[in-house]
Amino acid sequence: MSLRLEHLNPEQLAAVTLPDEHALVLAGAGSGKTRVLTTRIAWLVKNGLVSPQAILAVTFTNKAAREMLTRVTAMLPVNPRGMWIGTFHGLANRLLRAHHREASLPQAFQILDSQDQLGAVKRLLKALNVDEDRFPPREVQQFINSQKEEGVRPGEAALADERARRLIELYTAYDEQCQREGVVDFAELLLRSYELFARNEILREHYASRFRHVLVDEFQDTNRLQYRWLKLLAARGACYFAVGDDDQSIYTFRGARPGNMADFEREFKVRKVIRLEQNYRSHGNILDAANALISNNRNRLGKNLWTASGAGEPLRVFEGQSDGDEARWIVEETRSLAREGTPLSRVAVLYRSNAQSRVIEHALFSQSVPYRVYGGLRFFERAEVKHALAYLRLVASPGDDNSFLRVVNFPARGIGARTIEQLQDAARARGVSLFEAAEGKAGAFRNLIEEMRAGTEGLPLKEIVEAVVAKSGLLEHYKAEREGADRVENLGELVNAAAAFSEEEREAESGEVVEPLTAFLTHAALEAGEHQAGEGQEALQLMTVHSAKGLEFDAVFLTGLEEGLFPHEQSVTERDGLEEERRLAYVAITRARERLYLSHAQTRMLHGQTRYNVPSRFLEELPEGLLKWLTPRFAGQRAREARFSAAQAWHAPRKKEPSFARSRDVGGFRVGQNVLHPKFGSGVIVDAEGQGTDARVQVNFGSQGVKWLAVAVAKLQAA
């Protein structure tokens, strides 16, 4: 590859050949930002404007850094060792290795990955005799990392309450332990290198003088500390070239701050904002839909994607009667695409929540369609699901030693390796199972299982699973985790799986009628043990929308477009949460090259109960002319209206069913509206009836269930 500028469009060329000044490049999805960034580096060097050693280029993943380095070295005959191209953490590590004394670190300091760090936290808590039930190790780990990512040391942390004071003490002790042992965690790498620059003027001046051009990829994903780290190098007038897309900022839950882009434009007095709007990936209808959707966000820098490749096909929209119906339709359409010649590997099924994959996986498994879960595990292989299944196996068969060992100390009960070793010796000597030999702390665990067995005897399968998930402590454990929401949803989906597990499936799985729990566990083992495609095999790609960022496919299925699911119900109560959900939908839409499918379901199982859904507002925000409805638009809504009208016409008995034919607007509220309740939280109005003091609305509050509320006394507020 040589440095060829004739293949660049006018905006790309303007960005690549920009004079020595600060620039903000708004690079839309599929607009060739990596080409622009790498060609800019090569152009600067080839024209003698800067030496390779005077360039600092930063990105977020090792894969992106390797690609950047490969492209640059292909265009220039330079030694890549002299170039500072890498991730924030990789470059911070390089700085600390070079200046370990100034950073108060041993030369051979070791880096803790996430699991190593968690182990270090557990050792600390044990040494300090801290009750892990009150201060779970993962919560302590997350507190420490969140403080570091904000650039906050223990002495600067806010003392909100007694619990915060204790967490700060643990943070202090953890820092001392790491310093003693000569180790640093990932968050420490960046914070320690920032502090090194901040307090050592000589070093800061040295690097500020060295790096004449600083280029940053995915700028919308930078957090507060990363932006501060970059600004420290601006002292000697380096030129900053920030590339990003505020419309694709979807990681605020990890600390990303899209506002850094606007701050950069203001603080660096950027004269030139270059918009890369020509898209080389998607057909025009897909881009027009993405543009229309994202235009509803207020806080954006603004751009409009376009393509020279033509309008292409309309977006196909499907409404299923249930989530199972939606999954079966996906299987049918996938097979149709394969018959038309589209390889499965170029087709992706996207979902907002990991828990949605279970129903889709089951449909694919049942029809022998090979699939691969990208960037994650199949539903029944996920740790939280396997933990819950282990508890269920012990309820069904206490002699299962593998299941016993998996959960005897999860969640933590103070049962260490030495205790387990002694228990195994005792069980072998007596020729019995670990469950039978359990005593002491392990005996308390045995009592817990016995209580679960007695308490669930004779209950329906769904209630057994629900009770075990709760009484095992798994639910509370994951609720306490900073990023445990997905795991909680997966446990809820396991309850859904049990509720949906029919008599027919029990017979099909076992060949005979067996006890429901045993049959369900057999079903889970069969689905966990088979069918995900092997390496190199053509397979349908399943993934969350977050995992899909940076990828592209010929055909994309965007599923579960329902209020409360996408946008997620939590987004309504979070500041700018709805705008981030819309950015997430924008990312999903722009993954598709040629064909985009949008789907939603009238009903979906949630926590073992049927949930009646309102189509996502994002569907309403798409221009009607771009859509091809494979089912009558919002057929479920109209079917409910028709059923109610027919019942009235035939003087049928009144039934309390979701009726969208009753008053669509009562007491100042309307069906489909997001609302807040002081007790039940955020919800969506799915039905309404009556007028005046008799007005009432039916609200789907997600995990809190579906409730009828009198408008006059319910204290509902519009969200």
Separation of alpha carbons 24 and 15, rounded Å: 9
Q: Name the catalytic one among 11, 12, 33, 277.
A: 33
Separation of alpha carbons 28 and 300, rounded Å: 13
Q: Name the catalytic one among 248, 334, 541, 590.
A: 248
- Degrees (nearest 5) of the Cα angle 353, 356, 362? 155
Q: Name the catalytic one among 132, 139, 185, 218.
A: 218
Active site residue 34: yes
148 close to 187: Cβ distance less than 8 angstroms: yes
Instruction: Supply the DSSP symbol for 278.
Output: B
Active site residue 248: yes
516-532: buried (b, 16+ CB within 10 Å) or exposed (e) per residue? bbbbbbebbeebbeebb
Active site residue 691: no
Q: Name the catalytic one among 11, 185, 188, 217.
A: 217
Phi, then psi, of 213 in degrees rounded to 5: -135, 125
Active site residue 217: yes
633-649: buried (b, 16+ CB within 10 Å) or exposed (e) per residue? ebbbbeebbebbeebee
Q: Name the catalytic one among 257, 275, 382, 591.
A: 591
Helices 516-529/357-366 angle, 10° precision:
80
What's the length of the chain?
719
Active site residue 367: no
Say if residue 133 is exposed, middle or buried (CB neighbours under 10 Å; 0-12, 13-18, 19+). middle
317 close to 289: Cβ distance less than 8 angstroms: no
Tell me the β-bridge partners of 600: 319
Active site residue 352: no
Peptide bond into 632 cis (omega under 30): no
What residues are labeled active site?
33-34, 217-218, 248, 591
